[in-house]
Amino acid sequence: MGFISSTEQLVKRFDTLKTMENSGITLINRPDAMFVARDKFSSLVRLKNSGIPVPETAVVESPFEAMRLAETWKEVVIKPLMGSLGLGAVRVTDPDIAFRVAKSILSVNQPVYIQKYVRKPERDIRVFVVGDKVIGSIYRINKASWKTNVAQGALTQVTLPDKYLEEIAIKSTSVLGLDYAGLDVVEDLDGGYKVLEVNAAPLWKGFYQATNINPAKYIIQHLIQKLKK
C-alpha cells in the first residue's frame, strides 16, 4: 500500500486491492491482513489475545493519559500508529515531555500510540516468515541509537531463532492472516521475547545482505502453492 499520507489515500488503495481480490485475483499479502498489520495497535491486540508476548501498549486521546502512562511505565516510546523505518518514534522518561508530545500529536488529530520501553541489548531480531516457515532471521545491531531499523543505521548479522521464537513468529504471521511477514522482536532484559510489530511489507535489503536468502523466491513458491490449492 506504500506510504500513506491521508485517509482518502488509504481507503482508495485498499478499495482498489479489494476490488482486484473480489474479481478473483489472488493477492499476497491479502488486503484485509495488510490493513490490520498497518495498524500497530490493532495487530498487537490480536497477538496478545493469542498469547503472544508484546510490550505493554496503549492508544490514548488525552495528554493526561499519556503523562500518567509515562509515570507508571517509567520509560515509554511514543510512535506513529502507522509508521515505519523508526521515523517519528520518541523515547521519553519525563512525564511532562510525554504530555507535550501527546499534545502536539493530538493537535494534528492523530491518536497517541504509547508503549512501555523494553530494556534490551543493542539489537533486535528481524524474523522473516513465508507461509508457515521461518526462512531466516537477523540481528539488527545499533550501538548509536535505541532504534534498530536498518534505515536508522543498524548493522545486520545472521542469527538462528530458537524453537520458541520460531513458534512466536509463525503464530503471529498466521494470527494476522499474512502470507509473509517481517517481525520485529526484542529480547527483554527482564525476560522473554516481546514482539514490537509485524511488517506486512517488509524491506529486505539488510536481510538479504546478511543471509544471502532472497525472500522473493520463497514468496513466489508460496504463491504458486496457494494457486494450486
Choose among ligand ADP, Mg ion, none what residue 73 binds, the Cβ cut-off being 5 to 8 Å by kind: none
Interface with Mg ion (CB under 5 A), residue total 1
Q: Which is nearer to ligand ADP, 18 or 48 (CB)?
A: 48
| Residue 2 CB partners (closer than 8 Å, separation 6+) | 13
Among 73, 113, 117, 204, binds ligand ADP (CB under 6 A): 117
Q: Which is nearer to ligand ADP, 84 or 159 (CB)?
A: 84
Full 3-state SS string of 73-115: HCCEEEECCCCCCCCCCEEECCHHHHHHHHHHHHHCCCCEEEE
CA angle 80, 4, 146 (to 5 degrees): 30
Give me 53's grid cell. 508476548
Q: What is the DSSP string of 15-43?
A: HHHHHHHHTT---SS-HHHHHHHHSHHHH
Choose among ligand ADP, Mg ion, none what residue 211 binds, the Cβ cut-off being 5 to 8 Å by kind: none
Among 60, 184, 185, 194, binds Mg ion (CB under 5 A): 184
The distance of closest approach from Cβ of residue 116 to ligand ADP in the complex, given in angstroms and rounded to an integer, is 6
Helix (H) or strand (E) holding 57: strand 57-60
Contact status: 186 vs ligand ADP (CB under 6 A): yes
Contact status: 46 vs ligand ADP (CB under 6 A): no
* DSSP, res 186: E
Residues found near ligand ADP in the complex (CB under 6 A): 55, 77, 79, 83-86, 89, 115, 117-118, 120, 124, 146-149, 184, 186, 196-197
Residues found near Mg ion in the complex (CB under 5 A): 184
